[in-house]
């Protein structure tokens, strides 16, 4: 079954923030460390993403929706989302992942809209998406 990638707005993501089956995947590279991040998000830098897909799949066990983003969600976020879709189709793994999405306007749009940003240095971030 071919998986498609859909888009989610920041408002939609914020309203779903407490749903335990959603994981936010930040694929920005170095800028995560100085720009902050969406609280509770996982970090899988785009430059090493392909090498770490199996680690991501382990980290999101029990999640059925993954929301990818980069700074603007125009290149890196959609590219990594597509890489995951291709990996899942090639390996025919039953990971339980049903929805692969990209955050519209990325982290920059999220922050510019006044949504919560975490500036912790914990890896992984243990925070929650909270206003």
Q: Which residues are catalytic?
A: 70
Helix (H) or strand (E) holding 107: helix 106-112
What is the four-CA torsion angle of 84, 90, 94, 100, rounded to 10 degrees? 30
Q: Are 68 and 105 in contact (CB under 8 A)?
A: no
Cβ 50 vs Cβ 76: under 8 Å: no
Q: Contact, 73 vs 104, CB < 8 A?
A: yes
Pairing of strands 22-26, 42-43: parallel
First to last CA, the chain: 37
């Amino acid at each position: 079954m071919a998986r498609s990638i859909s888009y989610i707005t920041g408002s939609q993501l914020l309203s779903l923030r407490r749903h335990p089956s959603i994981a936010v995947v930040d694929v920005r590279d170095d800028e995560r460390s100085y720009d902050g991040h969406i609280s509770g998000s996982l970090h899988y830098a785009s430059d090493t993403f392909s090498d770490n897909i199996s680690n991501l799949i382990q980290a999101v066990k029990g999640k059925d929706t993954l929301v990818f983003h980069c700074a603007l969600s125009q290149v890196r976020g959609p590219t990594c989302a597509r890489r995951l879709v291709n990996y899942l189709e090639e390996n025919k793994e039953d990971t339980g992942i049903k929805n692969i999405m990209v955050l519209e306007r990325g982290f920059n749009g999220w922050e510019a809209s006044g949504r919560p940003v975490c500036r912790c240095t914990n890896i992984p971030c243990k925070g929650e998406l909270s206003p």
